Every structure is written in C-alpha cells, then in structure tokens.
Amino acid sequence: MDTKLYVGNLSYSTTEEQLRDLFSQAGTVVSVALISDRDTGRSRGFAFVEMQTQAEAQKAISLFNNYQLDNRTLTVNIARPRKESGYGASDRGGGYERSRGPRDRRGGSRRY
C-alpha cells in the first residue's frame, strides 16, 4: 500500500510536530520522520509522513504538493522504496529514498 509520503523542500526550522499538525488535515497521520544529518543533527530538508490509508495519502498530495510552509514550496509525493546497494545502505528514513530529478547515464543531474 502506498501510504508513505516524501515531503521535500522543507525549511531547516520545520518540526515533526508542524508536519503532523499540517498532514492531519488530510487524515490520520501514522508517523512522521524528519530526516537529519547524523553528524550535525541539523535537518536535511526532507521528511517522510505515513498516512493511514491510500485515500488519505492521495488527499495529502492534493492538498500539500506546492503548498507554502515557512516560506518554502513543499514537494509531496509517494515515497519510493530505497534501492538496496549493500554499500552504505541503512534503515534511516524507513527504507525509502527521497525523490530526485532526472539523471544522466553517469549518475549526475541533467542540466536543462
């Protein structure tokens, strides 16, 4: 079931409590995981929010993708499962990875 959402472009000052309050407008929030840098403890600017049902997850995407929070335009979409690489793989973020833009064959970002 696709109930876990990637929430990107967060302000470094955004809290889990703010996200829980915001996303509760779309339904029952099961969990919020604000991802932080393991060395500095500072937010990395993205989080994962798990909703109770797929319908609530879709509603949250409709309500909050391109939503303004703390002067930032949020990106909200279904979280994609993390690819297991073996090297550097961890359970941080619940086994999901943040969404990324298009990549070229060498793994770098495309420039348009």
Average pLDDT, the chain: 85
Identify the pLDDT of residue 85.
Answer: 59
Beta-sheet strand order (sheet of 4-8): 29-36, 43-51, 4-8, 75-78
Q: Rounded distance, CA 40 to CA 65, Å?
A: 28
- Of 12-16, 51-55, 98-102, the least confident: 98-102
* pTM beyond 0.95: no
pLDDT by residue (tens digit) across 41-56? 999 999 999 999 999 9
Q: For domain 4-80, give the CATH superfamily.
A: RRM (RNA recognition motif) domain (3.30.70.330)
The pLDDT-based confidence of 112 (bands split at 50, 70, 90) is very low
